[in-house]
Structure 1
């Protein structure tokens, strides 16, 4: 493996970290308007460090949901990181404290860069560069967003009440690469919309997520044509 190849992978990880970190501004602002102070928002980003789960948690809290509903929703979305770990661990092969750190940095972006590399050495460079860059920029922008959120006042006046939903769509859309995935997403959205007027805040998300999980566990036989849609 040449050093230029490793440098290119590291540079890619850094750029992804910068781009992803910008989402942290929205999260920090939403966290502040949901009732968290700056330090709580920063701590949540540093300790949970899973964008989708974080948006879900503050979204439920901001809508008036209970802490149990917020944590459950966040946990369900965070389950995907466990499956990522199964793919990444065989490439990283770390033990002790570095294994714990690797687990914390196993997110969508670091996993995508890692498994895209042609060999183990580049996979490790990609993982640590991407995971580290996202962690630094995400947490830095969370702090900025939380400070701004406290200064902005009512989130509805700035459209921040819709930012969580917009962020979810932005994260989800590129992953809907099959007909089955698209139908599952539409069905889950319909379930959430139908149950929202009749259930406490946070519950519609749990119901929709449960339905999506069940749909994902059902046996299926996608065709080559489906994958190309």
Structure 2
């Protein structure tokens, strides 16, 4: 990653804290929804501590609350969480963390930390953004999950307050700005149609699994017709330019190391 366009550390910390605090507070909604769906306090807190990916957590408790099969609910949550593995492939190149640190950092590879990290111009800024966002979000998410689970009885029926919709609303708010190309919008639109269309006819949790088929279908169609959309071409050009720049940086660093 080139170091030409440096960004002040204070600005990176400010942006990372803003994302961490804003999203971390929504853990309260998860705590209330989970407890209202029948999960115990320890089960609810364990999900936030160990799973720590909001969309998967809400999908799991939502399917269980709707009477879905536990295995189907877990499978839906798992497939939603698989996206974090792909985030990790990209972030491992940008952050270049020591091997001993990577297993611990992997716990924080989620939508928000990825978005903050990819927005940074330098490796130093990326590491700061990732760390501050991860620490802030992890601490707040787990704290507010605990508070939400404890306060669920006082709040009563979560559906009356609309808190059961908080998870999907937060996820959509995070997803919408990422849909930059026609292909990405097509995947999102097809997934919504599949999920909502099959909701009345399939068991809880299964529509989420079927909706995952939107990605390979849209990518297959896009591959057949070629990237004709100007935004698609622009994104491809940017990705290639970034990969070329990173390769040149690695070659330069290797040459300097050999020169020593």
TM-score, length basis structure 1: 0.88
Query: What CA RMSD, in Å, does the superposition of the two structures yield over aligned residues?
Result: 2.3
| SS of 2:67 mapped into structure 1 | coil
Change (3 A) 1:29 1:222: farther
Change (3 A) 1:222 1:38: farther
The answer on 1:106 being equivalent to 2:109 is yes
| Corresponding residue for residue 213 of structure 1 | 215
Partner deviation per Cα, 1:121-163 (whole Å, 9 max, x = no partner): 2221111111111111111111121122232222222223333
| Corresponding residue for residue 230 of structure 2 | 224
Determine if contact 2:182/2:229 at 8 Å carries over to the other structure. no
| Corresponding residue for residue 68 of structure 1 | 71
| SS of 1:94 mapped into structure 2 | coil
Whole-angstrom CA distance in 2 between matches of 1:191 and 1:212: 8
Number of corresponding residues: 226
Determine if contact 1:42/1:142 at 8 Å carries over to the other structure. yes
Determine if contact 1:59/1:164 at 8 Å carries over to the other structure. no
Deviation at 1:94, TM superposition (A): 2.8
Change (3 A) 1:96 1:151: farther
| Corresponding residue for residue 243 of structure 2 | none
Which structure 2 segments of 5+ residues have no match? 235-260
Determine if contact 1:17/1:130 at 8 Å carries over to the other structure. yes
Q: What are the residue-to-residue correspondences of 1:47-126 with 2, within 5 Å? A: 47-126=50-129
| SS of 1:147 mapped into structure 2 | helix
Whole-angstrom CA distance in 1 between matches of 2:128 and 2:166: 33
Deviation at 1:227, TM superposition (A): 7.7
| Corresponding residue for residue 140 of structure 1 | 143
Whole-angstrom CA distance in 1 between matches of 2:7 and 2:135: 20
| SS of 2:82 mapped into structure 1 | helix
Whole-angstrom CA distance in 2 between matches of 1:21 and 1:100: 22
Whole-angstrom CA distance in 1 between matches of 2:170 and 2:202: 23
Which structure 1 segments of 5+ residues have no match? none
- Highest Rg: 1 or 2? 2
Determine if contact 2:27/2:144 at 8 Å carries over to the other structure. yes
Whole-angstrom CA distance in 2 between matches of 1:145 and 1:14: 22
Determine if contact 1:69/1:203 at 8 Å carries over to the other structure. yes
Deviation at 1:191, TM superposition (A): 1.9
| Corresponding residue for residue 27 of structure 1 | 30
Determine if contact 1:35/1:62 at 8 Å carries over to the other structure. yes
The answer on 1:14 being equivalent to 2:17 is yes
Determine if contact 2:117/2:127 at 8 Å carries over to the other structure. yes
Partner deviation per Cα, 1:42-67 (whole Å, 9 max, x = no partner): 11111111111111111111111111
Determine if contact 2:26/2:166 at 8 Å carries over to the other structure. no
TM-score, length basis structure 2: 0.78
